[in-house]
Amino acid sequence: MRRISVLKAPFAFALVLGTAGLAAAEMTPQDAARLGKDLTPTGAEAAGNKAGTIPAWTGGLAKPPPGYDPAKGFLDPYAAEQPLYTITGTNADQHKDKLAPGQLALLKRYPTYTMKVYPSHRTAALPSKEYDIIRSEGVAAQLADGGNGILNINATAVPFPVPKTGVEVMWNHIVRYRGGTFLRYGTEFPVHTNGSFTPLRRTEWYARASALGSPEANRISYYLNLVTAPSSIAGEAILTHDPLDQVKETRLAWTYNPGQRRVLRAPSVSYDSPGTGTDGLRTMDDYDGFNGAPDRYDWKLVGKKEMIISYNNYKLTDKGLKYPDIIKEGHIDQNLVRYELHRVWVVEAMVKSGFRHLYAKREFYVDEDSWQIAHKDQYDGRG
């Protein structure tokens, strides 16, 4: 069975590297000197592509567009743009060199699943102080033994701006910039085949340890998840403390059950344990694209490619939309999704010999500018 997760030219691979015999090497001074020049401050290629279909990075969307009012939600700076073309199941093979297998599967399975492709905009931008931290900490950052943690970092949002291995790309995703701390109200939708769903609502708190002054040693982040709906599980909570060096210490996790009124240690809040309230449609380490320890997989950096991914999805943030306007039978309303051509890092994960996981193979496509997982395809033991 293929499990597909869709988040936000033939392969011209730059390199193929695994984690076997992994060496813990810092970014070289030569690579550090490239940041802010031929590479962006976060490590992406600054130049556009030869075809002109991917623009150069010129600083990103560093401040709100004119007329932005926080009370009204995000303002779409590209609202006047029209799609360049639309990909359907009929013409999908013409674009398959820029699509992932999961995207092709959706296009072939659902006649209503289409991908409207718009002009590309490289909007990713961080505060300037973050760029200074990335450069200064990048020359010291090292992988812990086997790639299961990071050494010699504190506040960086990109420990490996010039990655040499697949697991380095994944760590860049895990610690990517999210403002230091955030409070948000999220909703998840376990959707039945007929399109019906019961919203899973939660309040989430997240903090990088560095944003709190690093009160404990060996910490990356803290996360608290409080379920507020449906009523059958409202009040359940999960708290996690994620370590920096996961060789030295594994994730610390606790759960609260309102029926028992007890807080319990929860070592199962990791790997392929079912996600709370998701009807078994998501594992714990599925959340956020990927989270937690990478130690059950061998990671291979396949390389970099141009790929059509969801990007700058302002339509989906429209406060006038209701959940049934978005969630449809089989997939979300594709008229609300904007796709653009961007460069992504391609990372393949295979379960290590002697280990187990629901997903025997995982393929991640990570946006080069933001280090956010843009798309992933996941396969069980049967492929």
Residues 106-150: pLDDT tens digits? Answer: 999 999 999 999 999 999 999 999 999 999 999 999 999 889 999
Q: What is the pLDDT of residue 240?
A: 97
Written in H, E and C, the secondary structure of 286-329 is: HCCCCCCCCCCEEEEEEEEEEEEEECCCCHHHCCCCCHHHHECC
Residue 209 has pLDDT above 80, yes or no: yes
Question: Is residue 39 within 8 Å of 45, Cβ to Cβ?
Answer: yes
Dist CA 146 CA 167 (whole Å) = 9
Nearest residue to 307 via CA among 117, 162, 114, 58: 117
Measured between its terminal Cα atoms, the distance across the chain in Å is: 6
Q: 334-372 pLDDT, tens per residue?
A: 999 999 999 999 999 999 999 999 999 999 999 999 999
Average pLDDT over residues 306-314: 98
Mean pLDDT estimate for the chain? 92
For residue 246, what pLDDT band results from cuts at 50, 70 and 90? confident
Q: What is the 8-class DSSP label of residue 274?
A: B
Dist CA 32 CA 44 (whole Å) = 12
Domain coordinates in residue numbering, the chain: 2-62+73-178+286-379
Q: 23-48 pLDDT, tens per residue?
A: 455 799 999 999 999 999 999 999 99
**C-alpha gyration radius of the chain:** 21
* 50: CB partners within 8 A, 6+ apart: none
Q: What is the pLDDT of residue 14?
A: 35
Q: What is the pLDDT of residue 313?
A: 97
Dist CA 140 CA 7 (whole Å) = 32
Average pLDDT over residues 237-241: 97
Nearest residue to 173 via CA among 59, 291, 58: 291
* 94: CB partners within 8 A, 6+ apart: none
Percent of the chain with pLDDT over 90: 89
Residue 276 has pLDDT above 70, yes or no: yes
**147: phi > 0 → left, psi -120 to 50 → alpha, else beta; which?**
left
